[in-house]
């Protein structure tokens, strides 16, 4: 296998037995989870499209496979990940030569309806971010890792006196605007000073 494919995630085409496409997808996802290989597999797709059928005056929409007997996998190819995919029940092999799968080009990906685009976020590692939803909503934490391939960010949050790492979607966090808190604190300080001043006047 050529230089472990530079450890860059790319789209590969996996050939399956007819009718095994969804089972291959499900079984492969289970294996990835059980072996904790989420950092090597990014997406598994059985491309589908809607097919409209009109029968006896009734309109019916069905889903059909765009590429029967094929599954698309976005992954980093290593000897281990190649072996796991190749030995998943229902898989006959990668599209490519021998043990060197050939990744799809960006042009091929576009033609198949996938978008290749860079996702930019307005925060960086070590920045403070505020969590927008979920169980930790309104918590503020520190960014420790940004994964643009998976559109996920790892944040270190302080809970019960302990630093706890959590993984979130890009859409679940926003850059924490410290200046808003600073303005609020100044306002509260001003109000307290006014209350204190008025209290002194009444005492006189």
CATH assignment at residue 71:
3.30.70.940
Assign 22 a pLDDT band (cuts: 50, 70, 90).
very high
Residue 170's alpha-carbon distances to 62, 126, 127, 130, 166, in angstroms, are: 33, 15, 14, 11, 12
Please give the pLDDT value at position 57: 47
| Residues 81 and 16 reside in one and the same domain | yes
| Residues 58 and 157 reside in one and the same domain | no
Residue 89 is part of which domain span? 2-111
pLDDT exceeds cutoff 60 at 181 = no
| Residues 12 and 82 reside in one and the same domain | yes
| Residues 76 and 169 reside in one and the same domain | no
Please give the pLDDT value at position 25: 94
Mean pLDDT estimate for the chain: 81
* Residue 203, domain CATH: 2.30.30.30
| Residues 30 and 91 reside in one and the same domain | yes
| Residues 183 and 104 reside in one and the same domain | no
| Residues 130 and 103 reside in one and the same domain | no
**3-class DSSP state of 117:** coil
Euclidean distance between CA atoms 202 and 204, whole angstroms: 5
The better pLDDT of the pair 185, 18 is held by 18
Work out how many domains the chain is built from and give that number.
Answer: 2
Highest mean pLDDT among 16-25, 50-59, 98-107, 142-151: 16-25
| Residues 128 and 103 reside in one and the same domain | no
| Residues 6 and 101 reside in one and the same domain | yes
The better pLDDT of the pair 152, 40 is held by 40
pLDDT (mean) for 159-169 = 87
| Residues 61 and 126 reside in one and the same domain | no
Q: What are phi and psi of 158, to 5 degrees?
A: -90, 115
Please give the pLDDT value at position 105: 86
Please give the pLDDT value at position 92: 93
Contact 136, 150 (CB under 8 A): no
Partner residues linked to 158 by β-bridges = 163
């Amino acid at each position: 296998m050529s230089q472990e494919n530079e450890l860059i995630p790319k789209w590969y085409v996996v050939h399956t037995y007819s009718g095994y496409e969804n089972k291959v997808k499900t079984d492969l996802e289970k294996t990835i989870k059980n072996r904790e290989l989420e950092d090597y597999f990014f997406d598994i797709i059985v491309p589908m499209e809607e097919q409209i059928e009109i029968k006896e005056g009734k309109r019916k929409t069905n889903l059909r496979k765009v590429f029967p007997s094929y599954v698309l996998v976005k992954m980093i190819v290593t000897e281990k990940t190649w072996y796991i995919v190749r030995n998943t029940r229902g898989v006959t092999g990668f599209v490519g030569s021998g043990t060197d799968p050939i990744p799809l080009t960006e042009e091929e990906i576009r033609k198949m309806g996938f978008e290749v685009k860079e996702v930019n976020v307005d925060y960086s590692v070590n920045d403070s971010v505020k969590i927008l939803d979920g169980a930790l909503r309104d918590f503020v934490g520190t960014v420790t890792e940004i994964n643009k391939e998976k559109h996920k960010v790892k944040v270190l949050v302080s809970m019960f006196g302990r630093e706890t790492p959590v993984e979130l979607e890009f859409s679940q966090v926003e850059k924490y605007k410290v200046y808003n808190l600073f303005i609020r604190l100044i306002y509260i300080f001003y109000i307290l000073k006014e209350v204190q001043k008025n209290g002194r006047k009444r005492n006189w």
